[in-house]
Amino acid sequence: MSDIPGSAKPAIAHGMRLQWEPAQEAHVLLYPEGMVRLNSSAGAILSRCDGVRTLTDIVTDLERTYSVAGLGDDVTAFVALALDKHWLELRE
């Protein structure tokens, strides 16, 4: 899990779309004939995965936004899970 380098740039995978759905009060990931509803933390992480920011940038941004330290492991674990499920892909 923790073998994703901090310099990796995660992005929403090709063919998937992340959007905010007011009716569900949640971010959702949309893909062919399916949907993943994200809780607020998962939404906060994936909405920062733009293929430009590095994993380190994303952790720093989340820690600042939510005024907490030590999010690195949890964010990395979720990014690993999302990569495994092909929700995310890594950009160079």
Partner 1 sequence: MSSATPVGHGLAAPNAQVGMSQAPRSASAPGPPLWLLLELTYRCPLHCVFCYNPTDFANTGPELGTGDWIRVLRQARALGAVQLGLSGGEPLAREDLEPIVAQAHTLGYYINLITSGIGMTEARIRALKVAGLDHIQLSFQDSTRELNDFLSSTRTFELKSKVAGLIRQHGYPMVLNVVLHRLNIDHVGEILEMAEALGAQYVELANTQYYGWAWLNREHLLPSRAQLERAEATTRRFRERVGTRMQIYFVVPDYFETRPKACMSGLGSVFLGIAPDGTALPCHAARMLPGLQLPNVRESDIRAIWYDSPAFNRFRGEAWMKEPCRSCPERARDFGGCRCQAYLLTGDADNADPVCDLSPHHHRVTEAVARAEQAAAAAAGGVREQALVFRDHRISIAVVPGDPVRR
Q: Token pair of 52, please? A: 């430009």
Return d(Cα 38, Cα 5) in angstroms, integer: 24
Scanning 3-11, 34-42, 49-57 for contacts with partner 1 by CB under 8 A, the matching segment is 34-42
Cβ distance 3 to 83 under 8 Å?
Answer: no
Per CB under 8 A, does 51 bind partner 1? no
Tell me the C-alpha distance between 41 and 32, whole Å: 24
**Can you tell me which of 4, 28, 83, 90 binds partner 1, judged by CB under 8 A?**
28
| 38 or 55: CB nearest partner 1 | 38
Distance CA 76, CA 6 (A): 9
Give CA–CA dist 5/80, Å, rounded.
Answer: 11
Touching partner 1, residues 57-86 (CB under 8 A):
62, 66-68, 70-71, 73-75, 77-78, 81, 85
Residues in contact with partner 1 by CB under 8 A are 14-15, 17, 19, 21-24, 28-42, 44-45, 62, 66-68, 70-71, 73-75, 77-78, 81, 85
